């Protein structure tokens, strides 16, 4: 991959597998024309005729256009990771803080260690959580597109689980080249 393009896209060996390839010729020919203003642009859906009114909401930020932001969040030294109702409340608060739309939430409580795995399915994508209370560790995924503000979930998670440390990774999904 061209180093200038990789830098613009925020891609390096730590964030992308080495076999990641972009077909530049195809990307140039198929890159949709952006319509709209501000931080969110509307792109015609793939394979949609001009009579179809469905539009996907892509984000336009810092000169880039992409489907959404995917946060990978690790909470270390966290508390209340085996309390199912608390976790559900925290995920719902993340959705509200991010300005997203909750469609469904499903959590599973494991035994004997009390870990929880679950997902909040959003109109804008999802938030998932997997906890290891015996280690004070939680792994979360926050992926949102459109006007949603996924970074707002971070403060909610800090308040809900009081972690000693938070590790954050960020990836722009669906980059339009």
The full 3-state SS of 112-144, as one line of letters, equals CCCCEEEEEEECCEEEEEEEEHHHCEEEEEEEE
Question: Which one, of 92, 93, 124, lies nearest residue 107 by Cα?
Answer: 92
94 has catalytic annotation: no
Q: Which candidate in 57, 109, 130, 151 is catalytic?
A: 130
Could you give the 3-state DSSP secondary structure of residue 155?
A: helix
171 has catalytic annotation: no
Q: How far apart are CA 140 and CA 147, in angstroms?
A: 20
Q: Residues with catalytic annotation?
A: 125, 130, 145
């Amino acid at each position: 991959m061209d180093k200038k393009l990789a830098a613009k896209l925020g891609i390096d060996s730590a964030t992308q597998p080495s076999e990641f390839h972009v077909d530049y010729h195809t990307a140039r020919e198929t890159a949709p024309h952006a319509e709209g203003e501000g931080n969110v642009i509307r792109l015609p859906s793939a394979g949609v005729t001009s009579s179809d009114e469905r539009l996907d909401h892509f984000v336009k930020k810092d000169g880039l256009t992409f489907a959404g932001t995917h946060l990978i969040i690790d909470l270390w030294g966290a508390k209340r990771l085996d309390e199912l109702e608390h976790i559900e409340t925290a995920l719902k608060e993340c959705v509200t803080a991010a300005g997203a739309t909750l469609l469904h939430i499903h959590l599973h409580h494991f035994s004997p260690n009390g870990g929880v795995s679950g997902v909040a399915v959003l109109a804008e994508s999802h938030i998932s959580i997997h906890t290891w209370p015996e280690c004070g560790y939680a792994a979360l995924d926050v992926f949102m597109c459109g006007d949603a503000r996924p970074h707002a979930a971070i403060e909610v998670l800090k308040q809900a689980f009081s972690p000693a440390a938070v590790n954050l990774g960020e990836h722009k999904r669906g980059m339009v080249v």
